[in-house]
Amino acid sequence: MAGKTIVVLGAGVGGLVTANELRKKLGVEHKIILIDKSKEHVSYSSALWVITGDRAIEEIKKPVTRLLQSNIEFLNEEIQKIDPAGKIVKTATKEIRFDYLVISLGVSLTPEIVPGLTDALQKNACNFYDLNGVTKARDVIKGFTKGTIIIMVSALPYKCPVAPNEFSLLLNSYFTRRGVRKDVKIKVCTPEVLPMGGNGPKTGGIVKGLMESAGVEYNSQHVLQSVNAEKNEVVFDKGKMNYDLLLAIPPHKAPKVIVEAGLAEPDWIPVDKGTLKTKFDKVYALGDVVKVKLPGEWKQGVPLMLSKGGVFAHFEAKVIAENIANEISGKKERIEYAGRAACFVEAGFGKAGLAQGYFFATPTPDTVFLQPSKMLHFSKIMFEKYWLSESALFRGIMDFFMENWMYGEYKRKVV
C-alpha cells in the first residue's frame, strides 16, 4: 500500500485529537502533517478560572509538540490558501499536496462588525474569548467593588454557549467570596431565548433558574446594535443599558482562509452530521468551523444547529480519524458520530452541573441536567487535566470514563 499524506489544519481541540488518533491507527508509512500558526495549545475550558484567579495563565496552555504522539510533523505556520478540489494547502514556505484533508480551524473573532465595540475593547471592556482579554478581565475584576457588569453575547452563533452563563455564576461566587456581592449587579445579555439553546428547552430553563437564584439578571432576545465607550452604554434592539464593566463575546466568523477557499456556504462549512464530510472528496471539517443542522427543533420551521464546543469537536475528530484510517487500511467498517455529548456548567462555590444527552433527538434535543455538586466540579478538573496531559495512560483512562459515563456512546457503526 502506497503511503498517504493526511494534512490536519488547526492544532486546537479537533485538530489535536484527529492527528493523535490517526497516528495511533496508521503505520508510519503514512504521513500526518498538523499545521497551526500558534505554537501553543490553549485549553479555553479553563479560561474563566484564570479570570477568577483560580488558575495562572501558564496552567491553561502547553506547546503543541508536547501534546502530540511521535511521528506527527508539526508545521508552525499560517495557512494562506486551501485548494480543496486541487488537494493543495499553502503556507508562507510550503505547498503541501494531500490525499486527505481535515479542517479544524475554529472561528475568527470579529468585534469590528459591531459599531463601537473595538473602541470599547481598547478602553475598559474585555473580550474574554481571547487570552489577552482574559488577563485584562482578571486584572480589572480584582479592583472591582461596586457597579454593573454586563456579560454580553454580541451575535449568534458563538462557541461554548455555556460560557456566558457559567461566567455569571462564577462571578456571583467570586464577589460573594470578596464580600462585595450586594454592591455588584451581574447581567447577561444575549440574543438567545434561553441559555444553551442547542440543549433543548428543558436544560435551558434549569440553567436560567440557577442564574436567577444567584441574583443574575438574564436578558434574553437582546440583539446588539452598537456600543458607546464614552458613555459606557450598550445599545440593543430593545433599548440602552449602562455598564461599569463590559465583558464581551465578539461576533464569530469563519477564518478568512476558509471563506477564500469557497468552503463557507455562506458562513460556515456545511458537513454531513454523521461523517463530517464536506462536498469535496476526502476533505473533512469539524468543530467550531462547521455548521450541522439538528434534526430536532424548538419552533416548527426554525432550524436548530449543533452548538460549537470542544466536546463536539473531540468526538467528531475521533469519528473522522477512524473512518480515514479504515479507508486507507482497506477495512470495510465505517462509523458515524451519534450526536451524544456532555458539558460541565460551573456553578461557583466549588460546584458544577452537567448537561448531558443526545443532540440528534427529535422533536427537540434530549438532554438532562445533573444538579451542581462538588463531585461534578472535581470531574471538570479531571477533564481539564485530560486536555493538557502528556500521559497516554491518563488520557486512556479518561477516554474510558468519558465515553462510558460522561458522554455515552458517541459513535454508531454504519457498515
Ligand X SMILES: Cc1cc2nc3c(=O)[nH]c(=O)nc-3n(C[C@H](O)[C@H](O)[C@H](O)COP(=O)(O)OP(=O)(O)OC[C@H]3O[C@@H](n4cnc5c(N)ncnc54)[C@H](O)[C@@H]3O)c2cc1C
Q: Shortest distance, CB of residue 29 to ligand X, whole angstroms?
A: 26
Residues 88-107 that bind ligand X (CB under 6 A): 104-106
E strands within 220-359?
224-228, 233-236, 239-242, 245-249, 252-253, 269-270, 283-285, 290-291, 335-337, 340-348, 351-358
Backbone angles phi, psi at 126, to 5 degrees: -125, 135
Q: How far apart are CA 25 and CA 325, in angstroms?
A: 6
Residues 263-282 that bind ligand X (CB under 6 A): none
Q: Shortest distance, CB of residue 159 to ligand X, whole angstroms?
A: 4
Q: Shortest distance, CB of residue 194 to ligand X, whole angstroms?
A: 19
Q: How far apart are CA 357 and CA 341, in angstroms?
A: 6
Give 232 or 285: the residue with its C-beta nearer to ligand X: 285
Q: Which stretch binds ligand X (CB under 6 A): 147-155, 187-195, 211-219, 310-318?
A: 310-318
Backbone angles phi, psi at 154, to 5 degrees: -75, -35
Which segments of 245-335 does DSSP mark as H helices, in order?
256-260, 310-328
Which residue from 8, 20, 44, 211 is in contact with ligand X, where contact means CB under 6 A?
A: 44
Which residue from 6, 7, 8, 15 is in contact with ligand X, where contact means CB under 6 A?
A: 15
Q: Cβ distance 103 to 87 under 8 Å?
A: no
Give 84 or 232: the residue with its C-beta nearer to ligand X: 84
Q: Shortest distance, CB of residue 203 to ligand X, whole angstroms?
A: 15
Interstrand relation of 126-127 and 245-249 (parallel, antiparallel or unpaired) = parallel
Q: How far apart are CA 318 and CA 16, in angstroms?
A: 10
Q: Shortest distance, CB of residue 247 to ligand X, whole angstroms?
A: 10
Nearest-10 Cα torsion for 241, 247, 251, 255: 170
243 contributes a contact to ligand X by CB under 6 A: no
Q: Shortest distance, CB of residue 372 to ligand X, whole angstroms?
A: 15
Residues 123-152 that bind ligand X (CB under 6 A): 128-129
Residue ranges that bind ligand X, judged by CB under 6 A: 10-15, 35-38, 44-45, 47-48, 78-79, 104-106, 128-129, 159-160, 163, 255, 257, 287-289, 308-311, 313, 343-344
